[in-house]
Amino acid sequence: AQSVTQLGSHVSVSEGALVLLRCNYSSSVPPYLFWYVQYPNQGLQLLLKYTSAATLVKGINGFEAEFKKSETSFHLTKPSAHMRDAAEYFCAVSDKNQFYFGTGTSLTVIP
Amino acid sequence: EAGVAQSPRYKIIEKRQSVAFWCNPISGHATLYWYQQILGQGPKLLIQFQNNGVVDDSQLPKDRFSAERLKGVDSTLKIQPAKLEDSAVYLCASSLVDGRAGELFFGEGSRLTVL
C-alpha cells in the first residue's frame, strides 16, 4: 500500500524566511506525488504535482518541490514566506487513481 | 468553469439523528470521491465512484454510512444514525481522468457537528 509521512505537524517561520515542509513516501511503483494547501474553512487546492517528468516541480504561489527517489522524499519549499502562506499543507501519493494523504503540516508565518 | 459544489456547508445534529450531504462534481468528471477529515488529520477516503459504480468503499462504515451516485453525476452521502465521532468535515472531490496522474478538485466541504 502507498503512504506518505509528513514530518512536523506544525512549522513556524518568520515572514521572509525559507519554508521547508517535509514529505516522505512509500510506493511500490513510480509514484505520482502531490502537494495540496488548505486555507481555513476551505477545501484542498493543488499546489503542484510530480508525474515522472522533471524532478524539480514548480507550483503556484512561489512553491516548488523536488522529487528525490534515493531518499523517497518530496519536500516542499518556498524561498521567502509570506503571511498569506499560513495554512495547512498536505502531501499525497496517488496509485491507480487512489489518493493517500499525509496527516498535514500547519504552517504559521510570524510577522 | 464551475468547481465542485457541496451542501450544506455546516450542519449540527444530535447523536442518533440522520444527515445527508450533497455533492455536484465538475462537469465531465467521471471519478468522484468522498473524504472524511477529522480535525487535525488528513483526509481519509470513504468511498470512490467511477461514473455510477463503486471503485472503493473499504473504509466506509457501512452500518451507518451510505452513498450513492445514481446517474453518474451528483452524489449523496448519508449518515444514519450519527455518532459523536462522526464530527468532521466531509469533503467531496472529483477527477477527470481515470489514472494516477489525475488531479483532485475539492469542494469547500460540509462541516458536521454531532452533539
Q: Which residues lie across from A107 on neighbouring strands?
A: A11, A87
Q: Which residue of A has its CA nearest to B37?
A: A103
Q: What is the pLDDT of residues A74-86, one digit of tens each?
A: 999 999 999 999 9
Distance from CA of A22 to the nearest CA of B (A): 15
* pLDDT exceeds 60 at position B3: yes
Q: Would you place residue A107 in the very low, low, confident or very high pLDDT band (cuts 50, 70, 90)?
A: very high
Q: What is the mean pLDDT of residues A101-109?
A: 95
* pLDDT exceeds 90 at position A110: yes
DSSP A42: S
Distance from CA of B102 to the nearest CA of A (A): 7
Reading the block at residue A62, the C-alpha cell is 512561489
Contacts of A104 in chain B (CB under 8 A): 40-42
Backbone φ and ψ for B84, nearest 5 degrees, come out as -55, -40
Helix intervals (H) in A1-111: none
Report the candidate in B54, B82, B89, B86 with the shortest Cα–Cα distance to residue B68: B54
Using an 8 Å Cβ cutoff, are A35 and A42 in contact?
no
The predicted structure's pLDDT at residue B97? 67
* pLDDT exceeds 60 at position B100: no
Q: What angle do CA B53, B57, B60 make, to 5 degrees?
A: 135
* pLDDT exceeds 80 at position A21: yes
What's the CA gap between B94 and B115, in Å, rounded? 30
Whether A101 sits inside 8 A of B48 (CB atoms) is no
Q: What is the pLDDT of residues A28-73, one digit of tens each?
A: 677 789 999 999 888 899 999 988 778 899 999 999 999 998 899 9
Reading the block at residue A19, the C-alpha cell is 519554508
What's the CA gap between A10 and B67, in Å, rounded? 34
